[in-house]
Amino acid sequence: MSNLVIVLISIAILALVSGAMYFYGGDIYKEQKISAESAKYINQAQQVNAAYIAYKADGKVITPSFETSELKEQGYLKEIPIGWDIYPGLLGTKISGSEDLKQLVCYEVNKNAGFKFDASEDNVKTLISDASKAIPYCNKEGIEKVPCCYQ
C-alpha cells in the first residue's frame, strides 16, 4: 500500500514539474523556434540564390517559363528546398506555421539582414505579438533587397 502512495505522489510531482516547465519555459522554446526557423529560411535562400546567380553567370537566360526544377536538373542544386518556387517577380517560399510564428520568423529574417520596420510606417503589417514591430507588404516601394515580406 505504501508503494502505491509513493507512486501516486511521484506522478503528482512529475505532473507539477512538467506543468511548471511548460509554463515558464514556453517563451524560451518559442524564441528558439523562431531563431531556428529563421536560420533555416536564410540558409535555404542563400543556397537557392547562389544557384540562381551561377545559372545566370553561365549565360543562361531566365525566361517567363523558367522553373526552379531547372536549377536541380542542370546541377546547380542537389535538391530544391521544400516550398521554394517562383512567385510574382521573385524566387521565394512561404513560411509555414501559425500566423504569429510566420510573422515573427519573417521579422527575424529581416532583422538578421539589417532591415527593421516600424508599425507607424506605411504599407506594413503589424505583428500580432508586438504592435510596435512590422513587416512590409510585398508591394511596398523600395523593398527589393528585403528578404521577407507579407503577402
Closest CA to 96 of 33, 7, 5: 33
Tens digits of residue pLDDT in 52-107: 899 999 999 878 788 888 999 999 999 989 888 877 667 788 898 899 999 999 99
Helix (H) or strand (E) holding 3: helix 2-57
pLDDT at residue 148 in the model: 92
The C-alpha angle 146, 148, 149, rounded to 5 degrees, equals 100
* CB 88, CB 120: distance < 8 Å: no
| pLDDT averaged over every residue in the chain | 87
Quote the pTM value: 0.74
DSSP 109-125: HHHHTT--EETTSSSEE
- What the block records as the C-alpha cell of 125 is 503589417
